[in-house]
Amino acid sequence: MGIHRSNRLTFRSLSRYVAVACLSIVTVGVIGAEAYDIDTTRTRDPRPPELPLSTKLARVPSTILYAPFWVLEQATYGLVWLGYEQQFGKQIIEGILDPTLPVVPIISYSGREGFAGGLGFRLRDIATSGDEWRLAGSYSQYNYASVLAEASFGRRNRQPFQLVISGRYTKNTREPFFGIGNGSQQRDEVNFTLETTTLEADARFVLSQSLTVLGNAGYAAHNLGDGEDDDFVSDLDAIIDTFGLATEDIASTRYLFGGLGLQLNWENQPFRPTTGGQIRAQTLYHQGVARSDNLQYFRTHVELYQRIQFFRERVFTLLVEANSIDVVDPTENEEPPFYLESSLGGNAGLYGYEPERFIDKESLRGLIEYSYPIWDILDGFLFYEQGRVFSSFTNDFSWRNWRFSWGGGIRLWGADGVIATMRISTSQETTRFAFQLGAGL
């Protein structure tokens, strides 16, 4: 069956134009910021003291290395100044950062979901000191929906034992699928609806300042239906025929999961760390229930990153992460459906590709990021990454045909971590713009 692709312009295809518009705003901000700096009626800073020739020569290597990043930094400084100087923008930023604010707006955009909005509600110190209760929901232009209810104990005040109990529902009406393997083709895109309900308990046992034991258990249910993007094949029966899938490859699933992990952290500080790093490794066992009782597999995730301060809080971050799916008994147990396997693309890494662009049992990704401070709570960043999926690390590993993407953006920090990100990323296939501000949906 051939795949029909319409020429009709969609919001997803407009991502590159949204990115261009953002860059135009940045340019305007730079002009405004430079005009502000050269207005001597507003500021009269004394001239810096004259440096000796030896000091100037010693700074030449670092100045040369820093020079390529200067233009981007000046652009983002201008953008922030333009937004913050407007009273409305200032009130929004200060309101979002207020930890006592019980209501938080949720705003996001991506080419696949379109524009999304919602609200998050949070209450603290209800049952015990240091607890936090959250309820959040959002809905998007293309009928994506997400609801989260969460209660955390001991996390906010960093107790030795921390517990998070959560329930989450998501509905993705244009979930993409391009086929299995690193050689899947963009032109083969189809879409379907994926509904996911998860009940989960996440425990952390802090053994020392750097070592934490992770425990995780829960229940998940996935339901599949026809997709809602008429530009591509969206009927489940047609998807089976297009890729030659078996019925169980695209079946709905129910399963229990649980497992343990370790986290070793040597960052210099929890808020905007500039040096140090982290190793995190976790394995979860999945046992199918009801009609999925023949589903038994392990999912393993390993992540390593190191931060290196390069120049005055300018930081390089090196990251490597791997994911693996291992069926308990390949001769007796079913393979997990493709939507439960390892993937790259979108927020899962390889940001310049569509979500779930590459799917297989195992994945490996490496990233290098350069970040720099713009404001006390705002960073700019540039990144380059490469990644690949494999049917098996041992039998299918290759250094050929790795995919790459690159881009940059800005990141807003709150007391509990990153609360907003804007990213422009590009790859060999497309350019994507994404923005997320909200309550962790």
Q: How many domains does the chain have?
A: 1
> So what's the pLDDT on residue 49?
61
Assign residue 300 the CATH number of its domain: 2.40.160.50
Q: Which of 45-54, 88-97, 166-175, 373-382 has the highest mean pLDDT?
A: 166-175
Whether residue 17 is contained in a domain is answered as no
- pLDDT tier for residue 33 given thresholds of 50, 70 and 90: very low
- pLDDT tier for residue 64 given thresholds of 50, 70 and 90: low
Strands 276-288 and 253-265: antiparallel
Q: Which backbone phi and psi does 369 adopt, to 5 degrees?
A: -130, 140
Whether residue 39 is contained in a domain is answered as no
Whether residue 289 is contained in a domain is answered as yes
Range from 38-42, 117-121, 243-247, 315-319 carrying the lowest mean pLDDT: 38-42
- pLDDT tier for residue 97 given thresholds of 50, 70 and 90: low
> So what's the pLDDT on residue 267?
93
Question: To 5 degrees, how large is the angle CA 400–CA 401–CA 405?
Answer: 125
Instruction: Report CA dihedral (27, 90, 108, 434) to the nearest 10 degrees.
Output: 30
Burial track 338-371 (b if 16+ CB lie within 10 A, e otherwise): bbbbbbbbbebbbbbbbbbbbbbbbbbbbbebbb
Short-list 195, 203, 179, CA closest to 259: 203
Question: To 5 degrees, how large is the angle CA 279–CA 364–CA 247?
Answer: 120
Q: What is the distance between the alpha carbons of residues 410 and 426, in angstroms, rounded to a whole number?
A: 16
Determine contact, residues 164/150, Cβ cutoff 8 Å: yes
Q: What is the distance between the alpha carbons of residues 436 and 427, in angstroms, rounded to a whole number?
A: 20
Q: What is the distance between the alpha carbons of residues 216 and 284, in angstroms, rounded to a whole number?
A: 8
- Bridge partner residues of 436 (DSSP): 108, 421
Length in residues, the chain: 441
Q: What is the distance between the alpha carbons of residues 80 and 149, in angstroms, rounded to a whole number?
A: 33
- Bridge partner residues of 226 (DSSP): 192
Q: What is the distance between the alpha carbons of residues 228 and 192, in angstroms, rounded to a whole number?
A: 7
pLDDT for 157 beyond 60: yes
Whether residue 15 is contained in a domain is answered as no
Determine contact, residues 108/437, Cβ cutoff 8 Å: yes
> So what's the pLDDT on residue 27?
41
**Can you give the residue range of the structural domain that contains 150?**
101-437
Whether residue 418 is contained in a domain is answered as yes
Short-list 75, 6, 89, CA closest to 34: 75
pLDDT tens digits, residue range 220-274?
A: 999 999 999 999 999 999 999 999 888 888 889 999 999 999 999 999 988 789 9
Average pLDDT over residues 75-93: 54
- pLDDT tier for residue 1 given thresholds of 50, 70 and 90: very low
Q: What is the distance between the alpha carbons of residues 42 and 37, in angstroms, rounded to a whole number?
A: 8
Range from 88-97, 264-273, 311-320 carrying the lowest mean pLDDT: 88-97
Whether residue 16 is contained in a domain is answered as no
Range from 72-76, 99-103, 245-249 carrying the lowest mean pLDDT: 72-76
Mark out the alpha helices in 42-101 (DSSP H runs): 53-58, 60-85, 87-97
